[in-house]
A and B are shown apart, each in its own frame.
Chain A
Amino acid sequence: MQSLRWAWGYIRKYKMRMFFGLALVLLVSTLNMANPYLAGRIVDDVIYGNNRSLLWPMLGLMVGCTVIRTIVRYGYQLMFENISQNVIFKMRENLFERLMGLDFSFYDRTKTGDIMARMTGDMEAIRHFTAWTIYMIVENVTIFIFAVTFMFSIHVPLTLAILVVTPIIGFFAFRLSNDVKPTFTEIRNQFAKLNSVVQENISGNRVVKAFAKENYEIEKFSNENETFRARNLQSARIWEKYLPVLDSLAGVLTVVMILTGGIMVINGSLTIGELVMFNSLIWALNNPIRSAGWLINDVQRFIASAEKVEELLLTKSQIINGNHQNVQEKQADIEFDHVYFSYGNGPALEDISFTAKPGQTIAIIGPTGSGKSTLVHLLNRFYDVTEGAIYVGGRNVKEWHLHQLRSSMGMVMQDIFLFSDTIEGNIAYGSPNASIEAVQIAAGQAEAHEFIASLPDGYDTIVGERGVGLSGGQKQRIALARALLKNPKVLILDDTTSSVDMETEERIQKTLNSIQEGKTCFIIAHRISSVKEADLILVLNNGRIIERGTHDQLLMQRGYYYNVFQNQYGNFDIHLMAGM
């Protein structure tokens, strides 16, 4: 019921058209009566009554009704398709909008295949429902009601006798509805799993091949594939239990009709013509009852899917948008004030405090898993701090409008993601209106122009999913260009040059220095060469800042940083430098 109400929220907009469509359905149902009625009249008046002159008008009516009926029916079928496509379109758009707005922690815990299942399989079930099931239900119900009314108008006692069977039918229909629902939920859940296992196999295809694990993958897949079949069969088990019962009970109506009707004719309380008319109307009771079982299945399938879609639509982002929108010069001022953060299982960051002024570079260094990426993710409000506060431009990040906040920052994430689009499209991702010249300048700053220009298709080269077709360092530089093109006030480089050779890195750093005026720059790196120029170096360990200062200060402290330096440069043979 809840799902129906939810769907109604979308359909409501097409209420008028829907009602008009339903009126047409009614019209068609009425016209549906025409043929059997006319057939009855032909039998009664023309054949038995020998009134031949009526034959042609009646046949003409029959053809006319059919032509009108099929045209109207075609019309409302398209109309319902139209409505359902619009409804689905809107739902899909809302879903997409929701997906765009959901926070990182949602994506951390949700599988792509699961979301895909909702966007495809579940939407398909909903489409089927709005395009087909709804009007089938209405059509069947109206046909049924009409036939019953019509029958009452012919002969009340016989109609009553026929209807005696219906409560039993209702009982079985109810049972079916109850039993079949969970099986549809299981089918769609398994569909999501199937989606996930295939999805992951495709994205992990390199690893699968590298380890020659094709057979293992096939086995893993076959399990889910087989379960999917089993879930479907399990559902069919329920249908096979109830649908035949409903079907046979529908036939029982006919038996009741011919038996009681026949007796009534023999008694003289009914004419043979009336019985024939009943006979030609009885399908209008049979068919809706026959369809009822299938329609109940459809409804339950719809509910199983709608619940999932609705659930996704109701998922709230934990990041609540602020409303401060002023474009401020000071946006490059950053302050961490006793920041604590946890992903939910133990602290990831503890008591982080520091400030950064425009033009400054803050470097972060520290062991794997110490919380470096986490720290910069807080800046963009990908996650919210657990305790303490972060100020950007003197204002708590929570007060900023997210778009404003994030627009001012250019981030190169550690796990580079490029879209399957042209290189130009990828660099211009954050500034879709940028000119090709601007794109080239940004590429040049990121030391990427040269290699892009050397590609056969240059900036129009299409890269594959996640940037396949490019080397590791090339991907990083394109991601860097993408961030630079935004001309951000805060530039965040998370391990951006790890796959770039020293010489290229050095050139990049020079360029960055030259454009840094007024920008705050965060650099996460493991190489001393990448961080040594920074105005402030933070050494993170286990989520805490254990050392801070400039390169020289830190070397003097002889702590963690000093050790790293020794490891990287300690055994360098200084004499080699002679002659350089």
Chain B
Amino acid sequence: MARNKFNVDEELETPFSIAHLKRLLVYVKPYKTKIMITVLIMLAASGANLIGPYLIKQAIDKEIPGKNIEGLAALSGIYLVALTVTGICMKFRIRMMSQIGHSVIKNIRRDLFTHLQKLSFSFFDSRPHGKILVRVVNYVNSLSDLLSNGLINLITDLFSLLVIIGFMFSINAKLTLFAMAGFPILALIIFLIKNAQRKAWQNLSNKQSNLNAYIHESINGIKVTQAFVREEENKKIFHGVSNGYKTSWLKAVRVHFLLWPAIENISVLTVTLIYVLGVGMIGNGITVGALVAFVGYIWMFWTPLANIGNFYNAIINASAYLERIFEMMDEKPEISDRPNAKELPIIKGKVEFDNVVFGYETTTRNLNQISFKANPGESIAIVGPTGAGKTTIVSLLSRFYDIGSGEIRIDDMNIETVTISSLRKQMGVMLQDPFIFSGTIIDNIRYGRLDASDEEVIAAAKAVQAHPFISQLKQGYYTEVNERGSVLSNGQRQLISFARALLADPKILILDEATSSIDTETELALQKGLETLLAGRTSFIIAHRLSTIQNASKILYIDKGMILEEGTHDELIRLRGLYWKLYSSYYSSLRAI
């Protein structure tokens, strides 16, 4: 799984096919009655629209030469009525079109987001987040043109095309056939530019994604950028990325715009043809008025055709986004419930690792033959050098990753046989990298258990010693924090995510360096309160500050993905092995004093 960076185009796993359009139609289907009604109304409108030239022809051919002012007034009256009808239809169409278009977009985006929630860590870890964001937000938005205007226009344009052709036939069949001589040429041109067009838009969507990724990361990493005075360098990089976008945009429109000249030139050629033929036929099967009307129609005939060409262009453009959207929707979650997965019943908290082997990638091995057992209510400390695999062990317990071989059991049930949400709901995890959502502090703690009352939230905050600082804030628990918790110090963020884990009231509590950025005094106070809170819960505690873990029921010393020592503090000290060495080195530095 190679990770993607901002300046590398993502490879497309499932290229666009007609199946994508069918899939898009699935989203449109629920609105088919609405679409039908709108189309009918639009038909009425184009009828009213098409009546115009006919009325004018009547006026010029009959009423005016006949000096019939009343007839003329009547025609004008009909025209006004037709206009009113068109107006009303248009109002209806705008309403329907925006409803359908935006509903479809909403539904696509909802499905995409819902699917995103199912994807595992590895999906999020393997590409810049800006590239995921752009798909959910911007790419889906790019479909709006196609959906809100395109679809209904397409149907009505097809109809008005038919109607116009009908009118033309009724005037003169032979001329009508000649009028359609342009079609095959147009089809040929479209076919010729199609590939170039597709590639250009695909390229553009990639560049847009790269640009987004770079902007996104630049915003998130701005503090580092400023601290390292990298602004100028980044501007240069941005210049390059932004230029890539610009260039591919210009390339894309160069092909995109070719369609209209093609349509117009073909249309004028056909009109010429019709004039030549028509003029020759005057008095010989066609009247002057009929020819004028016919020519009027043939100009009109190319307008819907141009629109259909537009729609075609829009589809080609949108397909570059659609394929990305559907690609993400088709992304298989690496971790998912087995077909016959059961709900994990309320657990007691027994945890067993049985010969667990795990690697983040197929080629690596990060954990080797890990076996240990934790009885309900025990606290297990995991210690060891950095990069040993401590975090990895606890993340397997929540089934963030699936193991290579071996088994992890909770209350004697293999965790792969139970549903993921029933498993995770019974765990409170405090991740090593505390994440704070934007919103109030109280909502952040409540994230652990959404139905917790304010009192429960405050109790959790008190238990982790977060209450004093929160209550010192002007708005207390209702203080708004920004994403990732600016406004709070790091230790304060840790305390809040600690409280969040505790509030979940889990049977299994996982604390990954919960107090690494917290001062010893707070930590001690916290531990005192924690003893009662930990009662009845199985807990896993990872810490580098050994003073934190001496009372654990069991200490696992991990290095290089293996358990090298296991036992209580006293046992391990007596062993005089690695833990003892670690413990001594903790103090040896003070020997001089």
Contact = CB atoms under 8 A, between A and B. Distances in A.
B5 A420 contact: yes
A529 B590 contact: yes
A70 B261 contact: yes
Interface in B484-516: 484, 486-492, 494-495, 497, 500, 504, 512-513, 516
Nearest to B480: A109
B590 to A, nearest CB: 6
Contacts, number: 496
Contact of A526 (B260, B269, B520): B520
Interface string A219-251: 001100110110011001101110111011001
A121 B226 contact: no
B109 A225 contact: yes
A207 B431 contact: yes
B282 interface: yes
A104 B219 CA distance: 11
Given A195-B137, A367-B519, A498-B513, A229 B438 contact: no
Interface string A96-107: 110111101001
Interface in A254-293: 254-255, 258-259, 262-263, 265-266, 272, 275-276, 279
Interface string A61-103: 0110011011101100110011001101100110011011110
B138 A120 contact: yes
Given A62-B268, A262-B63, A73 B519 contact: no
B291 A47 contact: yes
A482 B79 contact: no
B522 A499 contact: no
Q: Name, among A52, A203, A500, A527, the residue most crowded by chain B CB atoms within 10 Å (CB to CB).
A: A203
A198 interface: yes
Contacts of A569: 587, 590
Contacts of B116: 201-202
Given A63-B272, A115-B219, A568-B547, A70 B265 contact: yes
Contact of B524 (A108, A486, A567): A567
B314 interface: no
Nearest to B544: A501
Given A59-B275, A63-B272, A116-B133, A417 B221 contact: yes
A370 to B, nearest CB: 8
Residues of A in contact with B, size category: 35 or more
Contacts of A577: 584, 587-588, 591
A66 B52 contact: no
Interface residues of B, number: 188
A255 B83 contact: yes
A361 interface: no
Interface stretch (B19-27, B65-73, B176-184, B454-462): B65-73
Given A577-B584, A577-B591, A429 B72 contact: no
Interface stretch (B91-99, B152-160, B162-170, B186-194): B91-99
Contact of A59 (B249, B272, B544, B576): B272
B173 interface: no
A429 B234 CA distance: 10
The prevalent SS among residues of A at the interface is: helix
A67 B547 CA distance: 85
A243 B90 contact: yes
Contacts of A102: 222
A506 B589 contact: yes
Contacts of B491: 367-369
A343 B479 CA distance: 14
Interface in A106-159: 107-112, 115-116, 119-121
B382 interface: no
A563 interface: yes
B516 A194 contact: no
Q: Name, among A216, A248, A343, A495, the residue most crowded by chain B CB atoms within 10 Å (CB to CB).
A: A248
Q: Name, among B88, B450, B484, B489, the residue most crowded by chain A CB atoms within 10 Å (CB to CB).
A: B489
B425 A212 contact: yes
B483 A203 contact: yes
B220 A466 contact: yes
9 contacts: A59-B276, A206-B433, A213-B450, A214-B421, A221-B110, A239-B98, A262-B69, A474-B386, A576-B583
Given A419-B217, A495-B517, 15 more contacts: A66-B264, A66-B265, A93-B235, A111-B483, A121-B137, A202-B133, A209-B121, A236-B99, A276-B60, A414-B490, A464-B126, A472-B513, A528-B590, A529-B586, A576-B573
